[in-house]
Structures are given as C-alpha cells and as structure tokens.
C-alpha cells in the first residue's frame, strides 16, 4: 500500500475523519482513523479524498489548497471557524458560517472603509468584498448586479444582507439621508416580517429583493420587492416558536400611554401569541426596564430568551427611530401599531353555539370586550363585525334578494383567522410600500440587487408555506447551477480554454413536477380550489394518481421519519428535493392557496372608518355578492413573482454568498461537520470545486484593458491589437503564465490571481504611465530579440548549408573511395603479392653472380623469371584481370621462383658460399613463413567476419520473427476489432441502457443518502421525531451483490476462490506463496484490477497545483492508448468468446519493451529543449514484473513487482498497446544489458533478500543464480 497515505474518510457525525489507507478493494477503500475510538471505515472510492500534507493549513480561498475536494473544504472551514474567520472563498463565491456571536471588529466603520475599491483576494474574505465587487462590476461592465444570499434557515442570510446593504450605502451613497433610509428599512421589515423559529431566532418569513439604484455611480434610490409572507404564523405557531417580532416588541417596549390606548397586556393574554413561547428576547441591561405586568408567567419562570442581536425592549425604540429617519410621522407609526394591536385583539374573540334552532353560533359573552376593542382599533362597527364573522351573505344568480347563512363555531373561527391574516398581510404590503416611498428615484443607470429569501425548510409538519419556499429554493438552485456551472463551462468551451467538463445534477424534473402546466402540483391545486366543494384529500389523491411513477414524489410511508409513516396516502406527499426529501401534509393546502375573503368580511373592512384600514383593502375590490369565496391563487401568484425575479437575475451579473449553519442548537464554537457537509453538497459547492480544479473564475476582455490605457498610449502603441497589447502588458509585468490564460476575446485568471492585475488596472495615472513605458520597453526588447533571433537563424541556416555541403563532399569522397576499393581490391592484393616476388629478384641475381659454374644459364633463367614477374606487375596495372587469373599467375611465379631457388642452391656448394646461401635461405624461409602467417590471419579475419555476419543474420531473423509476430498480433487485433464492431452494434444499446440505469441507481442512492441525512437532522432539531431504522435499500444491496460477483468468485462457493473477501496484502501473499497455478492467476487478475481502480482514484484526486504527468507510471503514449481504447476494450470484454482467444496466449510469456518518453515537466517546452528518456518494461505474462525509467540527467528509476506495486504501471499488456507498437519490442539480451548496467540485478537481489519481491520469472532466475 501507499505507506502513510493520509486521506479523509466519511463519517456520519464529523463529515470526514482523517486516517490512513490500510486496504483497497475493487469498489471500496478501507481507512484507519487516527482517532482510535473510531473503527476502521470502509467506503466507496468517491467518498474518500486525499488530505493536505499540512493538516493545520487554512487559506482564505479554498482553491489555494493542493487538493480541491469536499473534505478539504470542510476541514478548511472548520479551522477558520474556530479562529473566528467565518468567511471563506471558493473562487468568487463567498461561504459564510454563522458564528452565533458578535465578532469584535468584524463590521466596524474602519473595516468598511478598508474594503473600498479592493479586489477579491486582496483582503481577507468578507461580505464587504462581494458588495464592493458588485459595485465595481456595475461601474465597469455597465450591467446591473445581483448578490444572491442563500442558505438554510438560521444560516445568517438576513445579517449578511444587512451588512452588504450598509457597506454599499456607506461607501457609495450620495451623502443625503436616503442612504440611511435604505439601511434603516431593514429593521422595520424585520420587525413585521421576521420571527423566531425552531432553527433561527430571527428567521425571515418572507423573501425580499432589495434594489439599490445608481446614477453616475452614486446611490440615488431603491426599491424593495417582497414575496410570500407566511400568513399562517399570524394565527398559530409551534410550541418553541413565536409570532412576528412586532407583536412582542409592541407589548414589551411600547410607552405606557400607547400601551393603555391599545389595551395591550403580556403575550400570554393573546390567543395569537400564547400557542408559542411567550418569552421576550431581552438583554440583562433591558430586563430591569420592563415592567412585571408586561411579562408572562412562563417568562417569569424560565427567564428571557437570549440572542446577541435581538432585544424586544430596545428594538421597539429602534423601530420608532427607523420610522422617523425614513420620514414616517409619529401619527402614521401609531396607526400601524394600532392595526397590529387590533389583529392581536381580534384573535381573542371566541365563539359558542347559538341557543336557537336556526343553528349557527355567537360571540361568547366573555370575549365581547375583545370585539369592542377590536372594532375600535380597526375602525369597525362591533355589531357589523360580529355579524360578518358569524354569518355569510349569499345571493342566487339573477336574484336581487340575499340570504343570510349562519356559520357554525368552526366556520366562524376560520372566518376570524382569515380576517386576521388578510389584515396583517395587507398591512405588511403597506409597510413595504411606505418603505419604497422613502427612497424614490427618477431614473437610474443600473442597480445592485440583494436577494434574501427564506432558505430550504424541513419540519416535522410541513405545510403550504414550506412547499412554496422549497419550490423557490429549487428554482434558485437551478439558477446557480446554470450561472456558475453550465454557463461557465459554455464560456470556457467558446473561448477554447480546454477545461474539463463537470457533471452536476439537474433538478429540472423536480421543478416541472411543481410548475408544469396542467399536471404540475400548483395547477392541480388551482383546479381543486375551483371545484364546488374543494377537498385537500381529493387534491392529494389527484397528485399521487397523476405522478404515481415519478421518482421525485411518493407517498408519506416512504419517509425516513416514523411520524410521517403514520400518515395516510391522501393526507400528504413526499417530494425529493435537491437538498433531501420533505414530507408535506396537505391539510389546509386548498385554504392557504386562496388569498380572497368572503364578501361580507371584505365589505366590512373596506368600509372601515379608519383611514389606514380602508386603504389596506381599497385595491382588493368586492368582486361578487354571491357569497361564494372568490378565488385568488397564492401559488400561481408566487410562481409569477418568482418568474419575474428570475428574469431580473438572468439580466444581471451575479455574486453569491452561501450561508452555512454550523449546528442546529444555535451555539457558538460548535461545528457539526456532518450537518455542514450536507449543506455544502446541496448548495452545489462540491461541483464548483471540481470546476475550479481547472477553471478561471475571473476574466476581463482584451478591449477593456486596452481602453483603460488607451488615453495615455503613444500613437504607435494605439495601433496595436488589444490582444497583443494585453500580451505585452502581461509580459512587461512579469506575471506568471500559469496564473492566467488567453481565450479568443478575454483573458482568464486562476482563483485569487485577478486581484494582482486588477490593482494595476486601477492604478493612478502616473503609475499607469510607468506601466506604458514598461510595455514600450518590453516591446522594443521583444522586437530586438526577434531581430537577433532572425539574424542568428539566418547565420545558423547559412552555416548549416555550408556544413552540409562539406559533409556531402566528404560523403561523396568516401563513397567513391569505397566503390573504387571494392572494384580494385583484388588487383591491389595481387599487386602487393607480386611486389613481394619482385623484391626477391635482387637476391636471386646476387646468388647467380656468386656462382662459378653455369652462371650464364642461370642468368638466363633468372632473367626470364624477372621478366615474367615484371610483366605480371605491368599486366595487373594495365589490364582488368579476374581474381582467379591473377591468383593462377601468382602461384605459377611462386613455383617458378621456388624451382630457381632450388637449382641455385644445388649448384652453390662452395664452402665460402654455403653460409651466405644459408642466410639467404633462412631469410627466404622467414618470408615464406610470413606469407603463411598472413594467409592464416586473413583466413581467421574472414572466418570472424563470417561469424559476425551469421550472428547479425541470426539477430535479423529473430527481429524478423518478432516483427512477424507483432504483425500477426496486429492482424489478430484488427480482426478482433472488426469482430467487436460487428457485435458492438447489438450490445451498444444494452450498455448505454445499463449505464443510464446505473446513473439512475446512483442518483437514487445519493438522494436516499440525502433524505436520511435530512431526516437525522430533523430528528435532532425537533428532539421528538424518530428516524426509521437504517436499512440498506434494495438497490444498494443489489449493487453490493453485483460488486462482490465482479470482484470475486472464480470457482463457485469455495471461500478460497471468493477473492472479494481477500485484503490487498493477502492477495499479494497468495500470489507469492500459493502453489495453485489457477488460483495464482486469479489473484493476479484481482490484484491488478484493484490497482487499476486505485490509480484511477489517485488520478481523479490529483493535486490542483500538481503536474498532470509527474506521478505517471507509464509514458503518455501508453496511458493515452489505454484511455482512447477504454470504451472499445470494455465493449470487447463484454464478448467472452472474443476475449477468450487471447486469454491464455500470453499467460507465461516473457516479453520486453522499450519506448522513448519525455519527462512530464518538459512537455510544455519547445521541442528542442525537451529532454527525452527511455522507458523499459518486462512483462511476465499479462503484467509487468520489472520496470525501469532512464531519466536524462537523473538517477535511473528501478521498479520490481511486489516491492514497488504502487509505482509500477498497473495496465495489462493488451491495455498498453505495446505489442502493436512498431519497434517497441526488444530482445531479452537488450533489456538485461540495460537493466544490469543500471544496477538492476543488485536492486532485485536486495528485494528478494528482504522478501518483498513477488515471485516472477525474473526473480526465479535471480534466485537460481544466487544459489
């Protein structure tokens, strides 16, 4: 295994825990956590991630980490959170973790000024930086901007919205009070639209889009659009929740005179407040100022609620001050408070059954005072109010007379609550309208919009409000995916940046389920509302009937919570949202979808004597007097508003602030990794990380850079193309080329790198002039270097031509010499031999001259011999003679000479001549021996040459055999490919279907995981809900069974053959120790299969700043062949009969290969600077036994199977394609020579002695040599 490889393993509570890999399988990795209290974790490959070398390293931008994955993101957030660094970037997206406390110095005026004009990355992450970026983009791009603040309830969206709003108003305001009015609008809207929920003490129960308009780069006004106020909260709340803040603040902080006028008491005295908690939010300093008569008994018993940002007593004063600053008079403010109090008293009206036989009900005697107070506060007649709530006026079609229909107790209660909700809802609309009137503007050149809308919600009881909120979040998540992932990738492709594609889950099917025409849930709800007797259960049954096979919707019994499983099918439905499954109970869905009042109630409030109440209902209109409730669809109204909002967002530039909720207890310094990880995954941040591995989040057009400097450019620089000018500017500045990339029309920057360039872009004019001079200087140098290079190239080319001419002359000389020598070599040899004979003539004449007898005859013979020798020399020179003829003449002359010498020696017997003759004879004998020796050496040289020729011929034959074998295999491969193509047509559709089915199953499994995580969190939040026992889904069981089958059984039910149960180390031991040949081969297959999957995991999770090929275990050509043929190989393997043909052919065969390669770090260099090396591989059967890399200028890299499994190339011989690569296969002798020359034998011997080398052909040969 990778010794000490530190990774993050999944953990349900902590998200991830750090540990080391102890085993790998075909589909999973086993990690041993460092924390000994946690058991070993076995997880799939896509759930395990490599860890940073420095575990304590925390960075401002997560993209600056070596490994970009969800585990390092979570760990970085954890480290920063505990240092009170709650903001973190992921490229240009800001993550904000709610600290649940006030961090000193984080939002001071000094900090606001500090971020003005600073690019992202210059200063630590902050919502101020996002706001400043939005303003600068508005100013530079002339395009309106939107800041989308998203996250779960309690994640801090509202607070971040306020801080961003304040930053913009303080830094870019016009100096008028309009700047402060925009800031002060938030406290007022929060008072009327925010409330305490289970998960958030200051939860926005409505959505708002705040537009801050600019003209000439100065703030001139604003406009607030609001969406879907939660009206059900007005009349009922959860046990630990509260109604809207304004009710409590009015009861707690109103002056005594106002309190008496509005007949206010403690919260426990009002029906609409007593259902939830009746405690106030109070700080210690405020508690003493609140009278005891304002406190509920529960508050006195339990004490005040604690939140550093909320104080009901002081917040009332802040509301009054905010109203004054916004131009709302004291009288208007009192009118608003009067209606709020009227709603509270309206809730205290009770009903009881009437005594008469006509049925109906009446106001109970003990609440008639409430009727009087309510009527007075709302400007209504008490009797008319009682009449409208206990009776309904009906009128038949075509009839003028009306009929009074009594209402029973329940119906009257419903009428009361409908009236309360209508009054408060219209009052909230009025408050927003008054706020918009406080910062009017005539015209604007653009705006910055800040969207703060309720986050994804899931409770034990989820109703129509949660359904609409989650529908909105589905749409916003789709917008995020499209804007950040889809459009970004389209731009990369258009600009030719070559960034890898990122796959993300599209939630369009869930959106269609809700909003599709006719079959969408909203349209089904509207159709139900139009029926004579609409019914929630019938509506629910219609949904299940029309979407019975839809993956996203199912019956409540499929919920992970036991409380939901008790619901009947017609009482709710479960939708699988992008963040998890939510079960909606459809009781009152129809009622809540209708935003209209009964005629009698609407007529009553429209005729109120109170001017403000009358104004609240003046635009509603009394449409009908028939008594039937007119229908105004809340769902489709919200759908229309949401469509309008998204159209605005599509037309703006976007910045995102993703708010994260660190724990469900709302406690500081508590970081629940599992809960946070779920939020990160659901918000799409994991997909963003994948994109940023090769992405460029910041960019600017060439033309914009050019225009920035154009005014101060010299005339000759203005003639430059914008792209060329940018290139010159970047070169002059010395920017690192890995930090940016040129597209077709824009220059793109890596995460965090745009800030450096942007600082230069916004420099003062003097500094810009200096930059222009540097550009001119660089251009002059570049042109001079180009001139030098051209001149040197011409000189080099000239010298090369001259050198080549000289070399051609030398080549011609040598060729002519070779041809001449080849033609005349027999004559030269014959001439040399004849010359030696001629050299002996003088000695023979001396001998003749020394003779006393027969001197004359001997002179004649010798002279004749001399003439023959000289004639032979002349013939050799003058004539073209055959080698045989020259040899025959030479032999004849030799015999003649020997005969003459014999005669001479026989005649010279004199004593005085004997010694001299003997010496001459000895000399002649030596000459003869020398000739014999030369002949012998010549024969030996010829024999050696012949032997060498035979060896070369033999080697050529062996190579020819290898080449023939390669061609044969290539031909077989071609035939197999043709065969594969024939069967591919039949199985391609099947494989495609299987892949789609696998993707669908994976999506379902992922959705089930999210559903369970959401259910676990809900159970923790609620404290009472119970999660269904964790039973593995049938789909996952099937998947695991399939994996076990693939990984394993080669011999039926025998445990020995079930290789999926073997650990990685056990497989290696089995290969080394087993004597079962078939079992060993099966183990090798499984061993390399696991290695291949493991190396794919490592390649997928490579470091972001790591060279792609630095850890490559084979040359790029080999890996590319495997990647390009992967699909075809998969298809081919699907056909067993085709694969079986070559399965046993290469089982025990030893084959050797050598191919050139370029070092990964040199691939980006020019060809002349690339250093080339050699890659050697010895295949023992299908897999590599020995591997060697000879790097230029580096120590040889030697690898042996067993010892170096993690570094060896894991591909099989067929996968590498080496057998079909011409010239790649070499002889065993050539491999062994290179291996031994680089101390390979010593390296392998050491591995054998250490017992870490796997048994292969090479190790067996080495062991025999060692013995």
pLDDT digits (tens, 9 = 90+) for 793-806: 999 999 999 999 99
Confidence of residue 1104 (pLDDT cuts 50, 70, 90): low
Average pLDDT value for residue range 239-248 = 93
Q: What is the C-alpha to C-alpha distance for residues 222 and 174, in angstroms, rounded to an integer?
A: 13
For residues 970-993, b (16+ Cβ closer than 10 Å) or e, as one string? eeebeebeeebeeebeeeeeeeee
Confidence of residue 1145 (pLDDT cuts 50, 70, 90): very low
Average pLDDT value for residue range 1063-1068 = 79
pTM of the model: 0.76
Confidence of residue 498 (pLDDT cuts 50, 70, 90): confident
pLDDT score at 1041: 43
Average pLDDT value for residue range 227-233 = 89
Average pLDDT value for residue range 1176-1195 = 88
Q: Which residue has the higher pLDDT, 549 or 1161?
A: 549
Confidence of residue 499 (pLDDT cuts 50, 70, 90): confident
pLDDT in tens, 10-55: 998 899 999 999 888 888 889 999 998 899 999 988 889 999 888 8
Confidence of residue 1140 (pLDDT cuts 50, 70, 90): very low
Q: What is the mean pLDDT of the chain?
A: 83
Other C-beta atoms lying within 10 Å of the C-beta of residue 1134 = 16
Distant-in-sequence, close-in-space partners of 811: CB < 8 Å, separation ≥ 6: none
Q: Which residue has the higher pLDDT, 712 or 97?
A: 97
Question: What three-state secondary structure class fits 710?
Answer: helix
Choose the most confident range, by mean pLDDT, from 205-214, 875-884, 955-964: 205-214
Q: What is the C-alpha to C-alpha distance for residues 1155 and 1174, in angstroms, rounded to an integer?
A: 6
Average pLDDT value for residue range 838-848 = 78
Angle (CA) 173 174 179, round 5°? 50
pLDDT at 911 over 70: no
Q: Which residue has the higher pLDDT, 491 or 135?
A: 135
pLDDT score at 486: 81
Q: What is the C-alpha to C-alpha distance for residues 29 and 21, in angstroms, rounded to an integer?
A: 7
Distant-in-sequence, close-in-space partners of 1120: CB < 8 Å, separation ≥ 6: none
pLDDT score at 357: 66
* Token pair belonging to 109: 């005026």
pLDDT score at 1040: 44
Pairing of strands 207-215, 446-452: antiparallel
pLDDT in tens, 965-999: 878 888 887 787 787 777 767 776 776 777 777 77
Average pLDDT value for residue range 1201-1212 = 84
State what percent of residues in the chain have pLDDT above 90. 33
Average pLDDT value for residue range 1140-1153 = 60
Count Cβ atoms within 10 A of the Cβ of residue 1266 and give its class: 0-12 exposed, 13-18 middle, 19 or more buried: exposed
State what percent of residues in the chain have pLDDT above 70. 87
Q: Which range among 307-316, 622-631, 832-841 shows the weakest confidence by mean pLDDT? A: 622-631
Average pLDDT value for residue range 386-390 = 91
Other C-beta atoms lying within 10 Å of the C-beta of residue 109 = 9
* Token pair belonging to 736: 């690192």
pLDDT score at 1027: 63
Distances (CA, A) of 664 to 64, 155, 675, 853: 30, 10, 8, 141
Q: What is the C-alpha to C-alpha distance for residues 190 and 307, in angstroms, rounded to an integer?
A: 15
- DSSP string over 37-83: TSPPEEEEGGG-EEPPSSTT---SBGGGSSS-SHHHHHHHHHHHHTT
Q: Which residue has the higher pLDDT, 1048 or 431?
A: 431
pLDDT score at 1043: 44
Q: Do residues 18 and 34 touch, judged by C-beta distance below 8 A?
A: yes
Q: DSSP H helical segments within 214-308, as ranges?
A: 245-253, 256-261, 271-274, 284-287, 297-302
Q: What is the C-alpha to C-alpha distance for residues 686 and 696, in angstroms, rounded to an integer?
A: 16
Q: Which residue has the higher pLDDT, 235 or 1072?
A: 235
Average pLDDT value for residue range 593-601 = 82
Q: Do residues 282 and 305 touch, judged by C-beta distance below 8 A?
A: yes
Distant-in-sequence, close-in-space partners of 168: CB < 8 Å, separation ≥ 6: 131, 134, 135, 212, 219, 448
* Token pair belonging to 298: 């529960």
Q: Which residue has the higher pLDDT, 1107 or 434?
A: 434
Average pLDDT value for residue range 426-449 = 92
pLDDT score at 458: 83
pLDDT at 216 over 60: yes
Q: Do residues 174 and 219 touch, judged by C-beta distance below 8 A?
A: yes
Q: What is the C-alpha to C-alpha distance for residues 135 and 129, in angstroms, rounded to an integer?
A: 10
Average pLDDT value for residue range 1044-1048 = 43
pLDDT at 336 over 80: yes
Helix (H) or strand (E) holding 102: none
Q: Which residue has the higher pLDDT, 712 or 1055?
A: 712
Q: Do residues 607 and 589 touch, judged by C-beta distance below 8 A?
A: no
Q: Which residue has the higher pLDDT, 198 or 646?
A: 646
pLDDT score at 1139: 39
pLDDT score at 1120: 65
pLDDT at 1055 over 70: no
Average pLDDT value for residue range 711-724 = 78
Q: Which residues pair with 1225 in a beta bridge?
A: 1153
């Amino acid at each position: 295994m990778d010794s000490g490889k530190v990774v993050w393993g999944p953990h349900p509570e902590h998200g991830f825990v750090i540990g080391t890999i102890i085993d790998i399988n075909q589909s999973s990795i086993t990690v041993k956590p460092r924390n000994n209290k946690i058991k070993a974790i076995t997880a799939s490959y896509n759930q395990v991630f490599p860890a940073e070398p420095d575990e304590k390293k925390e960075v401002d931008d997560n993209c600056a980490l070596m490994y970009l994955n969800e585990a390092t993101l979570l760990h970085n957030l954890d480290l920063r959170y505990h240092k009170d660094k709650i903001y973190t970037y992921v490229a240009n997206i800001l993550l904000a973790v709610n600290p649940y406390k006030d961090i000193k110095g984080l939002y001071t005026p000094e900090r606001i000024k500090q971020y003005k004009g600073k690019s992202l990355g210059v200063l630590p992450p902050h919502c101020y930086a996002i706001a400043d970026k939005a303003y600068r983009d508005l100013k530079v791009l002339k395009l309106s901007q939107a800041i989308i603040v998203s996250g779960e309830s309690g994640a801090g969206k509202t607070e971040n919205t306020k801080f961003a709003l304040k930053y913009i108003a303080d830094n870019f305001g016009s100096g008028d009070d309009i700047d402060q009015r925009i800031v002060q609008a938030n406290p007022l809207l929060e008072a009327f639209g925010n409330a305490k929920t289970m998960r958030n003490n200051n939860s926005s129960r409505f959505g708002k889009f705040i537009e801050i308009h600019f003209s000439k780069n100065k703030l001139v006004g604003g406009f607030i659009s609001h969406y879907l106020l939660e009206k059900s909260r007005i009349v009922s709340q959860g046990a630990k929740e509260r109604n809207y803040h304004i009710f409590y603040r009015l009861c707690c902080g109103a002056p005594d005179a106002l309190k008496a006028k509005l007949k206010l008491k403690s919260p426990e005295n009002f029906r609409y407040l007593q259902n939830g908690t009746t405690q106030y939010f109070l700080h210690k300093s405020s508690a003493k100022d609140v009278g005891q008569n304002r406190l509920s008994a529960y508050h006195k018993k339990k004490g005040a609620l604690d939140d550093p940002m909320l104080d009901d007593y002081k917040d009332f004063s802040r509301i009054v001050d905010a109203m004054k600053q916004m131009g709302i008079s004291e009288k208007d403010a009192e009118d608003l408070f009067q209606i709020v109090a009227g709603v509270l008293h309206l809730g205290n009206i009770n009903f009881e059954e009437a005594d008469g036989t006509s049925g109906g009900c009446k106001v109970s005697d003990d609440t008639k005072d409430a009727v009087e107070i309510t009527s007075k506060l709302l400007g209504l007649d008490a009797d008319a109010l009682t009449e409208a709530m206990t009776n309904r006026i009906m009128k038949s079609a075509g009839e003028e007379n009306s009929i009074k229909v009594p209402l029973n107790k329940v119906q009257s209660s419903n009428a009361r609550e409908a009236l309360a909700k209508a009054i408060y809802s219209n009052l909230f609309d009025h408050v927003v309208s008054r706020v918009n009137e406080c910062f009017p503007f005539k015209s604007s050149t653009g705006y910055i919009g800040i969207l703060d809308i309720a986050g994804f919600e899931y409770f034990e009881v989820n109703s129509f409000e949660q359904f609409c909120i989650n529908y909105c979040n589905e749409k916003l998540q789709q917008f995020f995916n499209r804007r950040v992932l889809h459009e970004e990738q389209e731009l990369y492709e258009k600009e030719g940046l070559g960034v890898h594609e990122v796959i993300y889950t599209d939630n369009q099917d869930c959106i269609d389920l809700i909003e599709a025409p006719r079959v969408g849930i909203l349209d089904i709800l509207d159709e139900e509302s139009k029926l004579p007797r609409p019914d929630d259960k019938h509506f629910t049954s219609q949904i299940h009937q029309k979407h019975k096979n839809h993956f996203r919707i199912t019956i409540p019994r499929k919920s992970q919570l036991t409380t939901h499983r008790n619901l009947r099918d017609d009482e709710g439905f479960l939708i699988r949202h992008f963040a998890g499954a939510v079960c909606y109970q459809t009781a009152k869905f129809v009622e809540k979808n209708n935003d209209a009042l009964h005629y009698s109630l609407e007529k009553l409030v429209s005729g109120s004597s109170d001017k403000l109440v009358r104004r609240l209902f003046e635009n509603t209109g009394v449409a009908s007097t028939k008594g039937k409730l007119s229908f105004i669809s809340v769902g489709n109204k919200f759908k229309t508003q949401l469509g309008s909002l998204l159209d605005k967002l599509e037309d703006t530039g976007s910045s995102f602030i993703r708010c994260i909720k660190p724990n469900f207890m709302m406690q500081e310094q508590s970081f629940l990794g599992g809960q946070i990880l779920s939020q990160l995954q659901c918000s799409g941040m994991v997909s963003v990380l994948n994109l940023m591995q090769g992405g460029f989040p910041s960019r600017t057009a060439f033309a914009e850079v050019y225009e920035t400097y154009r005014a101060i450019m010299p005339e000759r620089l203005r003639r430059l193309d914008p792209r060329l000018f940018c290139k010159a500017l970047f070169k002059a500045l010395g920017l690192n080329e890995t930090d940016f990339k040129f597209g077709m029309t824009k220059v793109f920057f890596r995460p965090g790198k745009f800030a450096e360039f942007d600082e230069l872009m916004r420099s003062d004019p003097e500094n810009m002039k200096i930059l222009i001079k540097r550009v001119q200087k660089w251009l002059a140098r570049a042109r001079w270097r180009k001139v030098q290079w051209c001149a040197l190239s011409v000189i080099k080319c000239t010298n090369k031509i001259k050198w080549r001419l000289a070399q051609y002359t030398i080549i011609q000389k040598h060729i002519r010499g070779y041809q001449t020598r080849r033609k005349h070599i027999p004559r030269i040899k014959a001439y040399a031999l004849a010359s030696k004979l001629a050299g002996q003539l003088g000695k023979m004449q001396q001998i003749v001259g020394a003779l006393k007898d027969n001197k004359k005859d001997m002179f004649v013979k010798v002279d004749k011999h001399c003439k023959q020798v000289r004639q032979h020399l002349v013939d050799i020179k003058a004539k073209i003679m055959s080698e045989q003829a020259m040899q025959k003449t030479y032999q004849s002359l030799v015999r003649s000479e020997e005969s003459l010498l014999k005669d001479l020696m026989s005649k010279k017997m004199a004593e005085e001549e004997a010694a001299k003759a003997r010496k001459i004879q000895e000399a002649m004998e030596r000459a003869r021996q020398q000739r014999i020796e030369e002949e012998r050496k010549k024969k030996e040289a010829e024999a050696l040459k012949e032997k060498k020729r035979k060896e070369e011929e033999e080697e050529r034959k062996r190579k020819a055999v290898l080449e023939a074998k390669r061609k044969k295999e290539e031909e077989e491969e071609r035939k197999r490919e043709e065969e594969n193509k024939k069967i591919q047509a039949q199985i391609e559709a099947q494989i495609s279907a299987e892949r789609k089915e696998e993707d669908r199953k994976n999506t379902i499994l992922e959705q089930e995981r999210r559903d369970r995580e959401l259910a676990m969190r809900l159970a923790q939040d609620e404290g009472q809900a119970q999660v269904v026992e964790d039973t593995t889904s049938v789909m996952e069981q099937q998947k695991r069974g399939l994996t076990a089958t693939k990984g394993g059984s080669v011999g039926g039910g025998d445990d020995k053959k079930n290789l999926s149960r073997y650990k990685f180390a056990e497989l290696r031991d089995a290969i080394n120790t087993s004597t079962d040949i078939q079992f060993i081969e099966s183990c090798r297959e499984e061993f390399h299969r696991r290695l291949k999957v493991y190396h794919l995991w490592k390649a997928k999770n490579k470091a972001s700043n790591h060279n792609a090929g630095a850890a490559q275990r084979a040359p790029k050509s080999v890996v590319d062949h495997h990647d390009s043929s992967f699909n075809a190989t998969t298809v081919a393997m699907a056909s067993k009969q085709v694969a079986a043909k070559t399965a046993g052919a290469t089982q025990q065969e030893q084959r050797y290969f050598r191919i050139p390669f370029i070092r990964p770090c040199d691939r980006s260099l020019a060809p002349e600077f690339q250093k080339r090396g050699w890659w050697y591989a010895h295949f023992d059967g299908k897999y590599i036994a020995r591997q060697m890399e000879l790097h230029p200028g580096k120590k040889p890299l030697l690898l042996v199977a067993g010892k170096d499994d993690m570094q060896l190339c894991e591909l099989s011989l067929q996968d590498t394609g080496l057998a079909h690569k011409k010239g790649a296969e070499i002889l065993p002798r050539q491999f062994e020579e290179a291996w031994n020359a680089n101390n390979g034998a010593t390296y392998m011997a050491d591995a054998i002695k250490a017992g870490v080398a796997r048994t292969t052909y090479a190790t067996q040969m080495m062991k025999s040599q060692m013995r």
